[in-house]
Amino acid sequence: MSTRWRLKPHDPDRVSALSRGAGLSPLTAQLLINRGIDEPARAKAFLDARVGSLHDPASLPGAADAADRIVRAIRAGKKIVIYGDYDVDGVCGTSILWACLRLAGAGQVDYYIPHRVEEGYGVNREALERLVHEQGAELIVTVDCGISALAEARRARELGVELIVTDHHTIGPDLPEADVIVHPRLPGSQYHCGDLCGAGVAFKLAWQVCKSFGDGKKASPHLRDFLVGAMSLVALATVADVVPLEDENRTLVRHGLAGMGQNPSEGLRALLEVSGCLDKKKLTSGMIGFNLGPRINAAGRLERAMMAVEMLTTNDTARAREIASELDRCNARRQEVEQSMVAEAHEMIKVFGGISDRGAIVVGRSGWHPGVIGIVAGRLMETYHRPAIVVALGDEVGQGSARSIPGFDLYEAIRACSNGLLAFGGHRAAAGLKLPVSHFPTFAEQFESHCRGSLTTEQLQKTLTIDAEVMLGQLTPAVVDEIERLEPHGMGNPRPLLVANGVRVLGDPRVVGPRQNHLQIRFSQGTASAKAIAWNMTEKGKKLAAGTLCSVAFHPSINEWKGRREVQLEVKDFQLDEVSSHVQTQPA
């Protein structure tokens, strides 16, 4: 599928005003304007991302009431159970809240995470009954789940157990009958950051609990130190859950990454070590997304996520390393399963005639691993640029995972086709569902038809949005260093993407990498030149012979090697000279 390039609008007067007012290069000013920041004071606040800018946890709907109940339960010696989800977000949030309550003096506090395959997502009735009858739970606090658990909340009330729901997922027409709900988007909420992840919500609740054991406004020193360290887990969860890195999410990730690199817990140190990130000079959101997050997720996909919580909360170095090594092995097995399922899905799509006139991809097969379907859905979405649902078909029930293309509300699309589904939940970009196997063909047809009728021509066109056009000579190490102050990057704050037109390939590109799937290239423009790396572009890069004139879209970066620092272009796409005129300017 061809990709359309769209250049963001450039307003010289606005760029000049922000550049002068904030003391920034014009290029950095342009990048900030593209992100909706055009005032010097806001630019400074964005770039500094100070911890003091975090919102008071008492302003998070339900947090103060929930903290009061938790504090009373601790002081009364009640049995508390933290019930989390099995993904990175749920694992990190559970780890934060459990460790917080232990430090606060809770004598009886356990955690529980359901088995992905055997129990499925969210709160389930059987688990509630076991926790109450077998473990004596008197207070259950959910993390990253529960907002759609209507029947389960009623059952908790019947069992006589106190229930606090903390979640961030899309709220349905009805709220669960919990004793307290902590959610940034509760009806009537004025909370400033509605896009907290589940671990972010758990962190805010933990912060409010810590305040209760201080002077009511600030936590005591040892609990304050704990909260500072816990930001590393919030950062890990925020990036892995792909929530917008705006407002306090950006601040939490910025400081969480710094803390993870400078003073990681035993569990994070072990995870960094097996991921090959322990000795990195600077940790980035990309390392979380590609190295750390998948290993934690692998526990929930193929094994039990409970051991990931143990790793993140233990002070035993040997045990942390043992679990991290097991997670690494789980991740390797997950990759093998994923590759097999992706290949089978591609073949199914081919057999059914491809996707040229289809609005969505819905594929299902008996024997597919339910723990890997989300990753496969993401791969299909990226390849075909269509909303994708992958279903693992069991004997009677199928479990599905869905991923959406930019700008299309996946949750609403599933809701519109929800008649016949056993359950569904999620948000705009990702969702999950359960359905009777007998209903799968009908649902697949309904969902594809709905998407075909709802997607706009623009949404169906794969588009690369470019921040600015530059000359290679502009990209000095000092300018790129300044651009890197926009980190951390992710949804809502994408990594800056630039374009250089009329560049020439110097010499033949060199194939590199263990699988010979990357290219090293040198581009020239006038008297300037720059090294470039094109990840996974060996096949497409065959067009880039020595002397080829082209336009190249890239992320600017600094490559450090043996004490030498130089600018490097990370190639995202390129267009040969004869088609470079396809770059379109986005209307202001």
- CATH number of the domain within which 561 lies: 2.40.50.460
Q: Is 464 exposed, middle or buried (0-12, 13-18, 19+ CB in 10 A)?
A: middle
583: pLDDT strictly greater than 70 = no
Residues 137 and 219 in one domain: yes
Would you say 368 and 341 are in contact if contact means Cβ atoms under 8 Å apart? Answer: yes
Which of 458, 477, 500 is the last residue before a domain boundary?
458
Per-residue pLDDT band for 303 (boundaries 50, 70, 90) equals low
Indicate if 435 and 556 belong to the same structural domain: no
CATH of the domain at 180: 3.90.1640.30
Average pLDDT estimate for 328-357: 91
Look at the block and give the residue holding tokens 């996520």.
Answer: 305
pLDDT reading at 264 higher than 50: yes
Q: Which of 389, 300, 318 is nearest to 349 (CA)?
A: 389
- Asked if residue 191 is part of any domain, the answer here is yes
Instruction: Summarize pLDDT for 86-123 with one digit per residue, the tens.
Output: 999 999 999 999 999 999 999 999 999 998 778 877 89
Would residue 528 count as lying in a domain? yes
Query: How far is residue 16's CA from residue 24's CA, in Å, rounded to a whole number?
Result: 10
Residues 188 and 96 occupy one common structural domain: yes
**CATH code at 429?**
3.10.310.30
> In which band, very low, low, confident or very high, does the pLDDT at 588 lie, cut at 50, 70 and 90?
very low
- Residues 450, 471 within the same domain: no
Domain presence at residue 180 = yes
Residue 338 lies in a domain: no
pLDDT, tens digit (0-9, with 9 covering 90-100), for 314-325: 999 999 999 999
Work out the burial of residue 33: count CB atoms within 10 Å of its CB; fewer than 13 is exposed, 13-18 middle, 19 or more buried: buried
196-246 pLDDT per residue, tens: 999 999 999 999 999 988 777 788 888 999 999 999 999 999 999 888 999
Give yes or no for residue 447 having a pLDDT over 50: yes
Measured between alpha carbons, how far is 216 from 211 in angstroms, rounded to an integer? 5
Q: Looking at the structure, tell me whether residues 451 and 470 fall in a common domain.
A: no
**102's tokens:** 């232990």
Residues 510 and 562 in one domain: yes
Q: What is the mean pLDDT of residues 162-180?
A: 95
- Do residues 180 and 157 both lie within one domain? yes
Count up the domains in the chain and report the number: 3
Asked, for residue 137, whether it belongs to a domain, the answer is yes
> What is d(CA 164, CA 137) in angstroms, rounded to the nearest whole number?
13
Do 376 and 476 lie in one domain? The reply is: no
With residue 343 as reference, give the H or E element that holds it. helix 317-351
Q: Given 414, 440, 458, which residue is the final one in a domain?
A: 458
Residues 120 and 226 placed together within one structural domain of the fold: yes
CA distance 67 to 204: 10
Question: Average pLDDT, stretch 347-365?
Answer: 91
The helix/strand/coil state of 499 is: strand
292: in domain: no
Predicted TM-score (pTM) of this structure: 0.86
For residues 157 and 71, membership in a common domain is answered with yes
Residue 78 lies in a domain: yes
- Parent domain of 115: 53-263
Domain membership of residue 359 (yes or no) is yes
Which pLDDT tens digit goes with each residue over 16-67? 999 999 999 999 999 999 999 999 999 999 999 999 999 999 999 999 999 9
Q: 342: which residues sit within 8 A by CB, 6+ positions away?
A: 376, 379, 380
pLDDT band at 1 (very low <50, low <70, confident <90, very high): low
Q: Pick from 198, 129, 142: which is nearest to 170 by CA?
A: 198
Q: Are residues 420 and 484 in the same domain?
A: no
User: Would you state the pLDDT for residue 578?
Assistant: 62
> Where is the domain boundary, 439, 458, 477?
458
What is the CA 104 to chain-centroid distance, rounded? 30
pLDDT tier for residue 587 given thresholds of 50, 70 and 90: very low
Nearest 5°: phi and psi at 112? Answer: -140, 130
Would you list the DSSP string of 202-268?
HHHHHHHHHHHTTTSSS--HHHHHHHHHHHHHHHHHHHHTT----HHHHHHHHHHHHHHHHS--HHH
Give the model confidence (pLDDT) of 485-535 as tens digits: 999 998 889 999 999 999 999 999 999 988 898 999 999 999 999 999 999
Residues 496 and 425 in one domain: no
- First CA to last CA distance, the chain: 27
Counting Cβ atoms within 10 Å, is residue 362 exposed (0-12), middle (13-18) or buried (19+)?
Answer: buried
- Residue 330 reports pLDDT greater than 60: yes
Residue 236, Cα to own-chain centre: how many angstroms? Answer: 9
Indicate the pLDDT class of residue 562, thresholds 50, 70 and 90: confident
Average pLDDT, the chain: 92
What's the average model confidence in pLDDT over 255-284? 93
